[in-house]
A and B are shown apart, each in its own frame.
Chain A
């Protein structure tokens, strides 16, 4: 968990603060496996070439951009790297702004910046300075070889790096239809405000749970339990179970012995025949 995404530094002015970039958000998504309906076999993803029908390994896969139908430009990892101005592992602060100036819609995903031992003092200084000034830093940062815009915000004792959307990623709301502002009726407004007042309470994130996840997990548990009783009935007292099992095994052993003595009279498949250890092997017919 404490595995850093990268180790690098915050740069602003002439100051460099060594930090590690750490994940701040855990995804709690339920993971399902795709299974074959009839036999519950796991479904494998196969990367198959559409031209020769061969399965292809990652080593033999390149990236192509279809610039014209059926025509591709191939770009290698190196090509893409060369476009990245400077894929340095650093948070380069380019300006400071008031937090309230940034529309929250621009915020995408937070990361923690954890100071290196050498950087603890400067780290704390920057954090306190941000807190007192009420400002946040706007920075450029490279994560997984892509440059992002980000805001550097104090958060308790931590500095949080919040990745931001670029302006052209936000859908222009004028492309949708919203009612223009109008002066509402005074009484209606009063009622609406009163309703808001009565429902106002301090925000407590802990109060909200992912009920979908919990319900699905409960369902899975119940089903697994059902399968369990189906597969291995344990209702009978254990003692009887063991004794029954011994009887079944004894019978099976006797039955197979009979079979073997039949096989010994000329059945080539006789399992009594001692296998040779390393030589002769069944190879594929194909």
Chain B
């Protein structure tokens, strides 16, 4: 295939885009050009969500069927105008990791041109790296888990959080599961948030023992249950950003959902959950995003303190 390069002016930066016609989704025929176009349309909605968050790129240079790799460290050839944040590696002693911060459309286009299909972000922002501004639960349906079961667990989680005065948001992961998040006042440590998430997960597991599992080893999870993943809360742990595309057939995107939609799913008969969430794709999502962004951001994004919630939990759940 002939290599093509073209130049695109975005926000005062001249970006050279290579191989727009490279097919990234062989089954659907979507190209890198389509990915760039999608992220340009998504920019006004995705940027408020990912700005200032250390970004991990999941790159698929040869398309979704080819090898992929996670890129935390900003590439050396990163243009100087793209901001980064340097974080001490959690593991290595003296190592640091320089993360890209994707704060404008030009950076988003630059990143998409690297065939970074999936954007993973931290749950804290550069100004308060040690204090997450949201806490999330990854509801991961296991083998044989129906859409209705997954939705029931999500609704159960919402009710459980409601008892202690917390209002969560929900979005599809873009794959088979749901992400439920509580926006926080960024002043709690990751350790505290992890403990809090565990408290909620154990409580919910106690209420819905047949529908949920806390079993970390996939092989040991009972069939048909939802894994309540609270282990994903931690410094350096990431979440697939809302509106991020996934490297799966049909190019589904992670989409904010309304709780009424999730309630409706508890009555649906669908056997698998992926089909339901693959409704939102790189092709059809853009016109929906404005409305959807209001479900995971804007006024819906209410930073909530946890002191009162913990107090209530001590009274209600003892």
Contacts and interface: CB of A to CB of B under 8 A. Distances in A.
A54 B76 contact: yes
A246 B75 contact: no
Given A241-B202, A245-B195, A281-B103, A286 B86 contact: yes
Contacts of A278: 51-52, 103
B195 to A, nearest CB: 5
B317 A281 contact: no
Interface in A32-58: 36, 38-39, 41-42, 44-45, 54-55, 57-58
B202 A225 contact: no
B91 A224 contact: no
Interface of A: 3, 36, 38-39, 41-42, 44-45, 54-55, 57-59, 77-78, 221, 224-225, 227-228, 231-232, 234, 238-239, 241-243, 245-246, 248-250, 252-253, 256, 260, 271-272, 275-276, 278, 280-286
Contacts of B3: 59
A42 B215 CA distance: 23
Contacts of A3: 26-27
A227 B218 CA distance: 13
Contacts of A241: 202
27 contacts: A3-B27, A38-B91, A42-B70, A54-B76, A55-B76, A55-B77, A221-B217, A221-B219, A224-B220, A232-B214, A232-B216, A232-B231, A239-B206, A241-B202, A245-B202, A246-B313, A252-B195, A253-B306, A272-B187, A275-B125, A281-B83, A281-B126, A282-B85, A282-B86, A284-B84, A284-B98, A286-B86
A286 B217 contact: no
Given A224-B219, A282-B127, A243 B214 contact: no
A224 to B, nearest CB: 4
A271 B51 CA distance: 20
A102 to B, nearest CB: 32
B215 A228 contact: yes
B127 A246 contact: no
B102 to A, nearest CB: 12
B100 to A, nearest CB: 10
Nearest to B310: A249
A57 B217 CA distance: 35
Contacts of A250: 310, 314
Contacts of B114: 57
Nearest to B22: A59
B284 interface: no
Contacts of B143: none
A284 B199 contact: no
B94 interface: no
A275 B186 contact: yes
B9 interface: no
Interface of B: 1-3, 18-19, 26-27, 51-52, 61-62, 69-71, 75-77, 83-86, 91-92, 98, 101, 103, 114, 125-131, 186-189, 191-192, 195-196, 198-199, 202-203, 205-206, 214-217, 219-220, 231, 306-307, 310, 313-314, 317-318
A249 B192 contact: yes
A283 B70 CA distance: 22
A278 B49 CA distance: 11
A103 B313 CA distance: 75
The 4 residue pairs across chains A and B that have the minimum distance between CB atoms: A39-B91, A224-B217, A275-B127, A58-B61
Contact of B317 (A45, A58, A242, A260): A242
Contact of B198 (A239, A245, A284): A245
A228 B202 contact: no
Contact of B62 (A58, A221, A228): A58
Given A3-B27, A249-B192, 19 more contacts: A41-B91, A44-B70, A54-B76, A57-B114, A59-B18, A77-B1, A228-B215, A232-B214, A234-B214, A242-B202, A242-B203, A246-B199, A246-B318, A256-B189, A275-B186, A281-B127, A284-B84, A284-B86, A286-B98
A262 B214 CA distance: 38
A214 B128 CA distance: 47
Nearest to A42: B70
Nearest to B133: A275
Contacts of B125: 275
Nearest to A62: B3
A286 B26 CA distance: 40
A231 B203 CA distance: 19
A83 to B, nearest CB: 15
Contact of A245 (B51, B52, B199, B306): B199
A275 B92 CA distance: 28
Contacts of A242: 199, 202-203, 206, 317
Nearest to B5: A59
Contacts of A54: 76-77
